[in-house]
Structure 1
Amino acid sequence: MADTRLIQGRYQLLDLIGRGGMGEVWRARDESLGRHVAVKCLKPMGPHHEQSYLRVLRERFRREARVAAALQHRGITVVHDFGESEGVLYLVMELLDGHNLSQLLEDNRQRPLPVPEVVDIAEQVGAALAYTHRQSVVHRDLKPANIMRVADGTVKICDFGIARLGHDIGFTSRLTGTGIAMGTPHYMSPEQIGGGNVDHRSDLYSLGCVLYEIATGAPPFDMDDAWGVLVGHRDTQPEPLRERRPELPEDFERIVLDLLAKEPEDRPDDAGELVRRIARLRAAGRLGGVRGDGSAPHRTLPEGRARPVRASVRLPEPPRLPGWARNMTTGSKAAGTGPLQPPPPHPAVALTGSWTGAWNGVTDPRRPTPSATGTERPPPPPEVLAELASRHSAGLSLARLGRWDEAGKVHRGVAAEREHVLGPDHPDTLASRYEVAFTLSRLGRPADALREYAQAADGRERVLGPDHPDTLAARQETAYVLGQLGRHFEAHQVYADVLADRERTMGADHPDTLRCRHNLAYNLSRLGRLEDSYRMARDVAAARARVLGADHPDTLVTRYEVGYALGQLGRWAEALHTYHEVAAARVRALGADHPDTLAARYEAGICLGRLGRSAEALELYRDLVEVRTRAQGPDHPDTLRARHGLGVNLGRLGRWEEALAESRDVCAIRVRVLGPDHPDTLVSRREVAVGLGWLGRWTDALAVYRDVAQARQRVLGADHPDALASRNDEAHCLEQLGRSAEAHELYRQVAALRQTRSPHAVHHPR
């Protein structure tokens, strides 16, 4: 294809970045959205094929491409678009800035990767496979070239569905009539070799081969004879990893060897079990290559080269391998290429641009950093940079597990050391400060997070410029934490400024621009500008549907916000319709039990109650309580939120004894789990008072209302809308007890506070 090729009048092919048996990968420009993408052009279907055959292949391509596009996970390459142009099938994917694992090993001179990096890769790939296997999608061709580590440390699996496409369309080597399309034999499971049933456990075996190689420097059966490799997978136990690399943690060796079990039923049940095992070992401090705080140990010696693999596999006589394996070559493994098959002229790089190593924890040691005096700072030793990068990755892994306090400690340590060896304005130092701020935000320390974000934003503006995406990201996060602090007017101004910069530099429909507009819409609702919030959220939802697709998670998040704004405007029927549509789309994309699906159903229950359809709401909440108890546990905040909705609707149906019992139970658990002054706990305590009042127990209700009012005043301030609402509840209770003078005085105080208070965010408990 010529460099000037324009596909579908939209994707301008710029330069070739990969070539393999199935076609080519190009860096391209999406002329409609003004962004760079990766376009995978599959081999053209020539006229020698029958038309009926081509129709079947096109339909199969559409089906598989839709499956790949529906996968929405941090650890999976995003598919933006697909189609056919002049007989060439193409997939449009996100352009990744990083290295695949084959390239990482090659750059490391075939030495194994650092232990913390190996563990982090195992954890991230396991999490991505756990998600895809829940969607009943099996990769079938997992290998180092299909696993990318991008510049911020994220690990992504590429080419989901491509192996099946290649099999059906004839792009991979079909070696016999058995119907098996072969990949590189170094990563094939025994059941693939024998032509047996292949399910998610085959992916686990292939992952075990990948981890074995990046941990030791060579795949488990490292021979140039393909026959010997296949026999090894089928009949020979792999050499224990620690015999090749003694410093590997024993527990991690056990995990990899379990993945490499010959029989599928002897492997872990699923990838989620793999992730849980790694998490337990981390928590117990039993992954010797990673300290308890997630950091890598200091090494006095560099990582040693893996010992040469002994060709210890004895070939069975007579051979029992399937006939299609005869005369095959080894293909390209991560550690090099067997002599029987030379590498292709353009090595495949698995949908990526060049590795820049500029930001987000990946340092280019060749890049000098100016010191505070204006002179060139001498470059630190590469092993120091590698250790800091590994610790940065460990911090990201802890964050992915929700261990925010530990992640914050790791990032603070890395930030301090990077500032010492690289300087305060080096992009890597600023990336660490950004992560410190993120953990502080998640730990409920927005004031501290704001200070860190501000420093990261100022530094990035000096080093990268005011319009750089990293600078804008830091500024946008300052707006978010301003919102956490209740400073919504300041947040609004920052969001508006960042939005203007993003629209100018990226375009109105760029995903980052749309994310900023979404945040601005959310903030408008907290300012009480509900109509403005609704209109902006509606426009963002329409734009995201056009750019990303109607069922993309980001589109559904904004449509969810549209439903919320409609509810706050009292347009409950429209809100209910919106939530039903969002829930149905999330069932298709994420599954019926996914937390986001359940959240949309919860909001639909609120709408039903507001529309007077409490019997329907009650049944919905009963089902939600059951599902969330099973999936998240009885004490999870989301489970308790569903139980709270159940109690509210029992009251609306006049079943006040049951409603009071439910509210008391939920309140007691929330006190224990969340604390006595948590907003959700106070909402439950208020619901207890409501039940007491309806049962005529006004004296008891007054005591509870007063406790809630005092707690809200103490936590939120006397003039906060929720505190004022509680004082009104107290006054109403006094009226019911015949204490009108006290009630009227309390009403007067509330009215005065409402007239004189400083503007606050409108609080809408969800």
Structure 2
Amino acid sequence: MRTEAVGDRYELRDEIGSGGMGTVWRAFDVVLDREVAVKRISPASIASGTASDVLADRFQREARVTARIQHHGVPQVYDAGLDRAADELYLVMELVRGTPLHAFIDPDESLPMSWAAAFAAQICTVLSHAHALPVVHRDLKPANVLVTDDGAVKVLDFGIAAVLRSDVTRLTATGMPMGTSRYMSPEQVQGARITPHSDLYALGCILYELVIGHPVFGGDNDFARMYHHVSTEPTPLREVQPEVPVELERLVLDLLAKASDQRPTDAYEVYEGLLPFLPSPGEQPETAGAVTDAMPDPTLVFRRPNAPRRPPESRPTLERSAAEESSVAAVRAPSTGLREAIREAFERSTALLEEERYAQAADVLEAAIHPAGEVLGAENPNVLELRLRRAAAMVIGGSYREALPEFDALEAAFSRTAGPTSDNAVQCLLQGAYCRAELGQAPQALQQFHGVLDRIRATEGDASEMARQVRLDIGKLHLAENNVTDARRTLQTLYDDLFLLQGQDDELTQEVAALLERIRLIGGPRDPRD
């Protein structure tokens, strides 16, 4: 099955969002073998009667300026252009996984003040970088803000913002205000000149909603809300929620001023106003109100600035007990469609691996694993083979951390179904050891390598080709730990066996000899038994 591609380079996978102007897709960059996000925009949705080439030129100019926003809170822009085959503009960006900001807004449970302030403060840092270019977002709203697992804010859709210069044509239809009515500034509603202060007004709307749990202005339709933005003063926060600090209420009302020149000077001034409500480094997190353990904490970047990345949790597997699997699998039979999907996953992943597109190969296999596992069982031979190939693709692509828990789970599964000395069980144990070695887990890797060697010795002996390679890996790992005594003993014994079996001209024999000579020249503590 041929995958739809954009710009002859970006293979579309899943639609992850849609709006009035286009769709957003999870895609693969076939050149760099990585996931990206592709925004597809129909020229007709932007302006009618304008040639696609002209719109593409304007769009690319804006994308270039957007790409200059060098801030971690803005997804990187990789590419932009016109897909002539589909007659669509496309924007290729960093793929961001996170929780939309609107998921944190609950009319029945308020967020802690520190959380609301932390969200707004992070948005301020993004706006300060964008406005310095200057680029105005024009459609800042909770749906355009994602919160990553570590609580960091990512502001999306700067890619369609207009540049504040007269020589760059806006991408909006003439006379039509651009924005969302709940967060649209009075000047946007009235079609007046839009400035960075328009984004600050939208930020005030967002902060108001984060604190109170409902929008600044309601209304049954866009027209009613637009009218309120122009003509109605917002209800002060403390009239709705008396515990809101006076200073925070004042800041929000300043942001919501009808006249743009009455709002704070810039995003930096807003950030300064939020500082008293942000936690200090080392403070414990607030967990009151709408906060749950599953929600990313936006205060983390302030409480623990520049903290190391937390070790990822192991991904859930499809493991079940052997007894449960055997009883369930006995009454299952693969459908024709499922068999075809498995076959296609193998063929497609093989082609991708040959092209060295390892991440895509793993993704193709993963898409087949779960439906196959649900029907056939997690320890069905076809499912185990899919999982083994996916784990191998991740290792070849250098994703050792992601592959390790799968190799551990597969080793246990193959040991149950085929025995601990079966080829697949031993290979999974060995690959797990390699992953641990690459991740710097030397003691665990050594223990696992010795476990592999014990299994090989039980079936093939100590001098088999696989056993010799594992013994070499053990010796090298001892060297990496500066354990010269154990390294010398392991490698010397291996050399003696290789010399007898393969001869001194054998490539592996020469490699081990070179390592021993290196140990001799460098020196190190000698064992009295040597």
1:655-685: CA deviation from partner (whole Å, max 9, x where unpaired): xxxxxxxxxxxxxxxxxxxxxxxxxxxxxxx
**Could you say what secondary structure the match of 2:98 adopts?**
strand
The alpha-carbon deviation at position 153 of structure 1 amounts to: 1.1
1:127-181: CA deviation from partner (whole Å, max 9, x where unpaired): 010111111111111111111111221101111141449x9687x6x5xx5x333
Pair 1:190 & 2:186 matched? yes
Per the alignment, do residues 19 and 297 of structure 1 end up closer, same or farther by CA in structure 2, a change over 3 Å counting? closer
**Could you say what secondary structure the match of 1:385 adopts?**
coil
Question: Does the 8 A contact of 1:45 with 1:88 survive in 2?
Answer: no
Distance 1:210 1:3 in 2: 43
Match of 1:240 in 2: 236
Distance 2:68 2:312 in 1: 39
> Within 5 Å, which residues of 2 pair with 1:700-715?
none
Pair 1:468 & 2:429 matched? no
Bigger shift: 240-249 or 85-94?
A: 240-249
Question: Does the 8 A contact of 1:216 with 1:244 survive in 2?
Answer: yes
**Could you say what secondary structure the match of 2:32 adopts?**
coil
**Amino acid across the alignment from 2:89:** L
> Within 5 Å, which residues of 2 pair with 1:588-667?
none
Question: Identity of paired residues, percent?
Answer: 40
The alpha-carbon deviation at position 36 of structure 1 amounts to: 1.0
The alpha-carbon deviation at position 247 of structure 1 amounts to: 3.4
Q: Where do 5+ consecutive residues of structure 2 fail to align?
A: 316-393, 405-434, 441-530
Distance 2:12 2:134 in 1: 33
The alpha-carbon deviation at position 49 of structure 1 amounts to: 6.3
Pair 1:94 & 2:94 matched? yes
Question: Does the 8 A contact of 1:57 with 1:168 survive in 2?
Answer: no
**Could you say what secondary structure the match of 2:40 adopts?**
strand
Distance 2:53 2:312 in 1: 57
**Amino acid across the alignment from 2:284:** S
**TM-score normalized by structure 1?**
0.38
**Could you say what secondary structure the match of 2:3 adopts?**
coil
1:211-257: CA deviation from partner (whole Å, max 9, x where unpaired): 11122111111111433322221122211122223333332222212
Distance 1:298 1:83 in 2: 45
Question: Does the 8 A contact of 1:146 with 1:157 survive in 2?
Answer: yes
1:733-752: CA deviation from partner (whole Å, max 9, x where unpaired): xxxxxxxxxxxxxxxxxxxx
Distance 1:95 1:145 in 2: 16
Distance 1:470 1:49 in 2: 49
Bigger shift: 270-279 or 238-247?
A: 238-247
Q: Where do 5+ consecutive residues of structure 1 fail to align?
A: 304-382, 416-423, 429-463, 472-493, 500-766
The alpha-carbon deviation at position 295 of structure 1 amounts to: 3.2
CA RMSD of aligned residues (A): 3.9
1:389-413: CA deviation from partner (whole Å, max 9, x where unpaired): 53xx42312455xxx8xx89xx9xx
Distance 1:180 1:164 in 2: 14
Match of 1:8 in 2: 7
Distance 1:244 1:427 in 2: 44
Question: Does the 8 A contact of 2:238 with 2:244 survive in 1?
Answer: yes
Match of 2:81 in 1: 83
Distance 1:132 1:180 in 2: 23
Distance 2:228 2:202 in 1: 14
Question: Does the 8 A contact of 2:281 with 2:303 survive in 1?
Answer: no
Match of 1:148 in 2: 146
Per the alignment, do residues 115 and 469 of structure 1 end up closer, same or farther by CA in structure 2, a change over 3 Å counting? farther
**Amino acid across the alignment from 1:92:** V
**Amino acid across the alignment from 2:250:** R
The alpha-carbon deviation at position 468 of structure 1 amounts to: 2.0
Per the alignment, do residues 397 and 56 of structure 1 end up closer, same or farther by CA in structure 2, a change over 3 Å counting? same
2:130 to 124, 132, 137: 132
**Amino acid across the alignment from 1:42:** I
Match of 1:396 in 2: 301
Distance 1:183 1:198 in 2: 11
The alpha-carbon deviation at position 104 of structure 1 amounts to: 3.7
Distance 1:298 1:128 in 2: 26
**TM-score normalized by structure 2?**
0.54
Match of 2:223 in 1: 227
Pair 1:218 & 2:214 matched? yes
**Could you say what secondary structure the match of 1:141 adopts?**
coil
Aligned residue pairs total: 325
**Could you say what secondary structure the match of 1:151 adopts?**
coil
Pair 1:277 & 2:273 matched? yes
Match of 1:61 in 2: 59
Pair 1:251 & 2:247 matched? yes
Distance 1:188 1:384 in 2: 30
Distance 2:58 2:108 in 1: 39
1:426-473: CA deviation from partner (whole Å, max 9, x where unpaired): 679xxxxxxxxxxxxxxxxxxxxxxxxxxxxxxxxxxx99812699xx
Distance 1:197 1:159 in 2: 20
Question: Does the 8 A contact of 1:291 with 1:297 survive in 2?
Answer: no
Distance 1:470 1:112 in 2: 40
Distance 1:185 1:497 in 2: 52
Distance 1:470 1:142 in 2: 38
Pair 1:295 & 2:284 matched? yes
1:330-354: CA deviation from partner (whole Å, max 9, x where unpaired): xxxxxxxxxxxxxxxxxxxxxxxxx
The alpha-carbon deviation at position 15 of structure 1 amounts to: 1.2
